[in-house]
Amino acid sequence: MKWQQIPLGTLQTNCYIVENSQRSCLIFDPGSEGKKLIHLLNQRKLTPCAIFLTHAHFDHIGAVNEVRDTYKIPVYIHKQEEKWLGDPALNGSQLFMFQDSIRVSPADHIIKNEGPMEINDFTFSVFHTPGHSPGSVSYYFEKEGFVISGDALFQGSIGRTDLPGGNQSQLLKSIHAKLLSLPEETYVLSGHGPVTAIGDEMDSNPFLNGF
């Protein structure tokens, strides 16, 4: 199984494509530039199975409708942010002058619980990692050794908590309990910036001192 990082949009939000040997794939956080993403998928002859969202901020959801409609695939989001998709006040798109308001159609599947998930030949675990936003989740591929963390954990930093529903204390608890407990060699595929590893963040992330 392989993954690819694709920065999209003004904020260079990382979309991730996880593909298997049959060239099926899952799409995580198609935040913008839907045509670019669709072109890349078609060029590589990949067959998308589903869209998974780490959270519903505008820069992570902007291309959802276009990609979903193109491939006729379901969208998954945590229950605490299902209403954010269609509400520019909640998803943050109306707060930024450079950003048109974003309204995404309702998700097809609501993630209500943590735990293992299987779709087609893909198997992974869902962790609820709130703090950056109430419904933030991370997707852990144990066998492959990586976690898609959204905006919870970055190389040398953590997610901002000054947006509606943000809570720094809660975010630090999420990182400590759900992410830092993973094997140190686990790759962290963040919502922005470069890929890092759990061990590297434990050693050098200034926001995690004391953990």
Distance, in Å, from the CA atom of 200 to the CA atom of 138, rounded to the nearest integer, reads 18
Predicted model pTM: 0.96
Residues 6 or more apart whose CB falls under 8 angstroms from that of 43 comprise none
Q: Which two tokens stand for residue 62?
A: 């902007």
pLDDT at residue 3 is higher than 80: yes
Report the pLDDT value the prediction gives residue 74, as an integer from 0 to 100.
Answer: 98
Asked whether 41 and 58 are in contact (CB, 8 A), the reply is: no
Q: What is the pLDDT of residues 181-195, one digit of tens each?
A: 999 999 999 999 999
Tell me what the pLDDT averaged over the chain comes to.
Answer: 95
Virtual torsion, Cα 23, 60, 53, 164, nearest 10 deg? 170
Residue 116 scores a pLDDT above 80: yes
